[in-house]
Chain A
């Protein structure tokens, strides 16, 4: 199985400041046949199911604010929130869907400083 490791486990950021979450996979999730990274980011607010923010490492879902961006390739990925808003307080998960058995990172809790 591909192991996904996120860092940090939690972070506190001031309103309007940048938040950065890292995700590392134990093996590459870049599919050579189409040059796509099979990596997604989800946001989960308390009491709610996860919401897909980004797929293919950097493609924002429809309706997701452009302050959210994803980057990286191969085994190292980043989710950035350029200007943190109060409604962005949540736990964020990365997920690989490259292997037959998808796996999630352990989650990163984002709070307001």
Chain B
């Protein structure tokens, strides 16, 4: 069974840092794109960042470029999101979501984790 499990969320002050993790199982981690998607309280979905499959390219939304860094550890089948210079508007539930196609970046997101909450507040 394919599973994604996020962790690392919490309360952080503005300007602070946090690292999220997405532990995966049930599929060949290195061959699928995996993404971070966030949802502010009561709001819609916003794609944040993604790590391509076999090619390993990385992608960022303009709203986080230069502040967030996505990475992966294929030995641990885990995706990370290092978040620096956090702002109040980064407060959200952060989901990781798997791309549906082997080796293709342009794919729908077929499996989602339950999310980890990030709150940026003083």
Contacts and interface: CB of A to CB of B under 8 A. Distances in A.
A107 B44 contact: yes
Contact of B115 (A38, A49, A93): A49
* Main DSSP-derived SS at the B contact region: strand
Interface in A97-113: 97-98, 100-107
A49 B108 contact: no
A98 B46 contact: no
Interface in A64-113: 91, 93, 95, 97-98, 100-107
Contacts of B109: 40, 42, 50, 52, 95
B59 to A, nearest CB: 6
Closest 4 CB pairs of A and B: A40-B108, A49-B112, A55-B108, A104-B45
Contacts, number: 57
Nearest to A36: B106
B13 to A, nearest CB: 28
B105 to A, nearest CB: 7
Contacts of A95: 45, 108-109
* Main DSSP-derived SS at the A contact region: loop
Contact of A49 (B46, B50, B114): B114
Nearest to A108: B44
Interface string B99-117: 0100001111110111100
A61 interface: yes
A34 to B, nearest CB: 10
A52 B45 contact: no
B68 to A, nearest CB: 14
B44 A102 contact: no
Contacts of A40: 108-109
B100 A100 contact: no
A42 B112 CA distance: 11
A101 B95 contact: no
